């Protein structure tokens, strides 16, 4: 008994060791397959790929992946086909494509890349999707059926139909049917139009559009009718989408402006360096990600308190060193803080780099929530929208419910009276300015996910920030929120027909006219405070 068992074990061990050795030999079929791919002229590439895909070799999938990712190369001297594992820098790490043996580093001069392009990549995606349709995981099958839309060609129709018979999940079925219908509409099949009639998918629409132009009058009318119902549905989705775009742009404006609403709106300090405080917050995010290179998500979350602290500290320094000496002299404050903004910009340029820095978007923030085929809400903007609302709520809470908020309001309404009541006005000034600056830092953390992190980041937002605060009514946080969101929405409503440049101008003209009519903005402060 035990002898037999040990014999089997030995046998297994032998086959295990012998098997990879077979691959290393010249008669490995993989050598021919990859060799053909490497030597293929453009017209032969498709055959070479198909040969690999249908070879049944267990390594086929990994070869196709490496090829599609531009990682398959040939060593110039030996002709050995290798997979490039790391293609950064001057020397690249490679491994043998056939045996997977680690070959260490090699100068990139020694390598000849096996070229791939978008067309080939498209074909590869089709093949990979076909392989993935057999996957156990329902999500993988759905994704692969999704990528089949518009990519179905004659040779895979029959296998796809077979596959459809076996498929049980209704969503995957629906996708495969739609993918087949797109192909059939393209071939002139009138029945298939019905399958696509309700679909909002852009490839389905593309197929119907083509059919509507076809020579067959019956097909053309039917396709046109189907398109009309689709257009109706699209309009509704389009409106929802524009509203979302508007709110998201608005939330960016609110974030950028809300710190200013405190320093300018409540304290009355014209701080031209506000944009640079935003920039500092964004650079903090970058710094955090440099410190935690493997965890961009964690770094981003840690940047929220860190960005606040960095910008708040910078704010305190600015307040103590410059602004406190210029109290009640707005013009000089404006010039001095403008100078500070230039100094901060050049400081970043000299110390860090004039180049933009890469801030990575964590996995859970990229992509979008798909509502339906025509409407998807981008995730990173969703987070920023939520973040803006949270920051706003927290600020409201601080101003309304804490002692600091009470003191701030007291000092701004009547400084002398507040001081005689025992409030240390200077300390309140510092705290308020630090709070406003810190919030600017938070805006920077959020903006690092949407725009470039570079020395000019702040400049792009300073004008918008002032616009929002003035439009909303100086000294009113609610005004800032409403103003930011409505300006964002107006801008996005105008953009499709006026273009981005004109939309900005129209919004600016609108604000100027509005301020003429109501100089104190949307929500003017009432009572005695308004006189000061």
Partner 1 sequence: MTIRKYVKLGLSALALSISLSAVAEEDPIKVGILHSLSGTMAISETVLKDTVEMLIEKQNAEGGVLGRKMEAVVVDPASDWPLFAEKARELLAQEEVDVIFGNWTSVSRKSVLPVVEELNGLLFYPVQYEGEESSENVFYTGAAPNQQAIPAVNYLMNEIGVERWVLAGTDYVYPRTTNKILETYLMDQGVAKEDIMINYTPFGHSDWQNIVSDIKDFGSAGKKTAVVSTINGDANVPFYRELGNQGISASDIPVVAFSVGEQELSGIDTGPLVGHLAAWNYFMSVDSDANYDFIDEWIEHTGDDEAVTNDPMEAHYIGFNMYVEAVKKAGTTDVDAVKDAIIGVSVPNLTGGYAAMMPNHHITKPVLIGEIQDNGQFSVVWETPSTVAGDAWSDFLPGSRDMIADWRKPLFCGTFNTKTGKCGASAGEMAAEDAE
Measure CA 427 to chain center: 41
Least gap, CB of 425 to partner 1 (angstroms): 39
Residue among 41, 109, 403, 526 that touches partner 1 (CB under 8 A): 109
Residue among 177, 281, 357, 387 that touches partner 1 (CB under 8 A): 357
**Residue among 210, 180, 156, 435 nearest 314 (CA):** 435
CB 349 within 8 A of CB 455: yes
Number of residues that bind partner 1 (CB under 8 A): 65
Q: Tell me the backbone φ, ψ of residue 328, rounded to 5 degrees.
A: 75, 5
Residue 254: C-alpha distances to residues 17, 170, 393 (Å): 65, 43, 12
Give the DSSP H or E segment for 340.
helix 330-351
90 binds partner 1 (CB under 8 A): yes
Residue among 412, 432, 437, 492 that touches partner 1 (CB under 8 A): 492
Least gap, CB of 491 to partner 1 (angstroms): 8
360 binds partner 1 (CB under 8 A): yes
31 binds partner 1 (CB under 8 A): no
Q: Which residues contact 300 (CB under 8 A, 6 or more apart)?
A: 285, 288, 289, 362, 365, 445, 449
Question: Which residues does residue 75 pair with via DSSP β-bridges, in sequence order?
Answer: 111
127 binds partner 1 (CB under 8 A): no
379 binds partner 1 (CB under 8 A): yes
Q: Which position has the token pair 């919004």?
A: 507
Residue among 69, 313, 324, 414 that touches partner 1 (CB under 8 A): 69
Closer to partner 1 by CB, 23 or 71: give it.
71
214 binds partner 1 (CB under 8 A): no
C-alpha 409/C-alpha 415 separation (Å) is: 10
CB 264 within 8 A of CB 468: no
Q: What sign for the dihedral angle of Cα 120, 126, 127, 132?
A: positive
Closer to partner 1 by CB, 50 or 117: give it.
117
Tell me the per-residue interface mask from 442 to 471 with partner 1, x by CB under 8 A, - otherwise: --------xxx-x-x---x-----------
Question: Which residues does residue 94 pair with via DSSP β-bridges, in sequence order?
Answer: 84
Closer to partner 1 by CB, 240 or 404: give it.
240
Residue among 500, 508, 512, 530 that touches partner 1 (CB under 8 A): 500
Give the DSSP H or E segment for 17.
helix 2-24
C-alpha 258/C-alpha 447 separation (Å) is: 14
Closer to partner 1 by CB, 115 or 188: give it.
115
In 10 A of CB 495, how many CB atoms? 19
C-alpha 166/C-alpha 530 separation (Å) is: 73
Give the DSSP H or E segment for 103.
strand 102-107
Window 181-210: residues binding partner 1 (CB under 8 A)? 202-203, 205-210
Least gap, CB of 402 to partner 1 (angstroms): 34
Closer to partner 1 by CB, 126 or 307: give it.
126
Residue among 122, 198, 330, 532 that touches partner 1 (CB under 8 A): 122
The residue range among 6-14, 44-52, 84-92, 298-306 that interacts with partner 1, by the rule CB under 8 A, is 84-92
95 binds partner 1 (CB under 8 A): no
Residue among 5, 41, 88, 528 that touches partner 1 (CB under 8 A): 88
C-alpha 80/C-alpha 239 separation (Å) is: 56
C-alpha 148/C-alpha 131 separation (Å) is: 12
Tell me the per-residue interface mask from 237 to 266 with partner 1, x by CB under 8 A, - otherwise: ----xx--x--xx--x--------------
* Footprint of partner 1 (CB under 8 A): 69-70, 87-90, 108-109, 112-113, 115-119, 121-122, 125, 202-203, 205-210, 213, 241-242, 245, 248-249, 252, 346, 349, 354-361, 366-368, 376, 378-381, 450-452, 454, 456, 460, 491-492, 495-496, 499-501, 504
């Amino acid at each position: 008994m035990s002898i037999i068992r040990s014999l089997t074990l030995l046998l297994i061990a032998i086959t295990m060791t012998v098997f990879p050795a077979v691959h290393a030999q010249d008669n490995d079929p993989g050598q021919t397959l990859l060799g053909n791919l490497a030597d293929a002229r453009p017209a032969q590439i498709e055959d070479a790929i198909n040969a690999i895909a249908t070879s049944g070799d267990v390594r086929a999938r990994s070869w196709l992946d490496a090829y599609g990712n531009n990682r398959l190369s040939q060593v110039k001297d030996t002709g050995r086909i290798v997979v490039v594992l790391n293609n950064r820098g001057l020397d690249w790490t490679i491994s043998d494509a056939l045996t997977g043996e680690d070959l260490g580093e090699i100068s990139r001069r020694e390598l000849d890349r096996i070229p791939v392009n978008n067309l080939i990549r498209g074909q590869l995606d089709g093949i990979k999707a076909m392989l993935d349709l057999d996957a156990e995981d329902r999500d993988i099958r759905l994704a692969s059926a999704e990528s089949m839309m518009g990519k179905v060609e004659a040779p895979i129709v029959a296998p796809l139909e077979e596959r459809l018979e076996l498929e049980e999940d209704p969503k995957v079925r629906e996708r495969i049917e739609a993918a087949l219908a797109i192909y059939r509409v393209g071939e002139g099949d009138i029945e298939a139009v019905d399958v696509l009639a309700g679909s909002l998918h852009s490839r389905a629409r593309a197929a119907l559009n083509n059919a509507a132009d076809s020579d067959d009058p019956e097909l053309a009318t039917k396709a046109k009718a189907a398109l009309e119902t689709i257009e109706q549905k699209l309009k509704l989705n389009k409106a929802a989408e524009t509203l979302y775009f508007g709110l998201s742009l608005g939330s960016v404006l609110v974030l950028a402006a809300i710190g200013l609403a405190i320093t300018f709106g409540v304290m009355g300090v014209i701080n031209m360096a506000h944009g640079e405080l935003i920039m500092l917050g964004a650079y903090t995010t970058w710094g955090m990600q440099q410190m935690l290179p493997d965890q961009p998500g964690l770094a981003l979350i840690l940047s929220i308190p860190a960005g606040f602290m960095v910008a708040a500290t910078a704010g305190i320094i600015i307040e103590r060193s410059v602004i406190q000496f210029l109290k009640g002299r707005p013009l000089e404050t404006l010039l001095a803080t403008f100078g500070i903004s230039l100094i901060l910009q050049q400081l970043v340029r000299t110390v860090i780099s004039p180049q933009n820095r890469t801030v990575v978007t964590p996995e859970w923030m990229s992509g979008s929530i798909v509502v339906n085929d025509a409407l998807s809400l981008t995730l990173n903007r969703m987070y920023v929208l939520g973040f803006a609302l949270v920051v706003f709520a927290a600020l409201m809470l601080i101003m309304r419910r804490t002692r600091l908020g009470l003191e701030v309001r007291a000092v701004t309404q009547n400084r002398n009276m507040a001081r005689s009541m025992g409030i240390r006005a200077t300390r309140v000034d510092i705290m308020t300015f630090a709070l406003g600056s810190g919030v600017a830092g938070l805006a920077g953390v959020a903006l690092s996910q949407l725009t470039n992190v570079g020395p000019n980041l702040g400049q792009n937002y300073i004008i918008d920030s002032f616009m929002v605060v003035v439009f909303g009514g100086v000294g009113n946080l609610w005004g800032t929120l409403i103003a930011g969101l409505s300006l964002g929405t107006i801008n996005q409503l105008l953009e499709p027909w006026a273009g981005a440049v004109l939309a900005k101008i129209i919004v600016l003209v609108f604000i100027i006219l509005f301020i003429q009519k109501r100089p104190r903005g949307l929500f003017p402060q009432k009572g005695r405070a308004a006189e000061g």
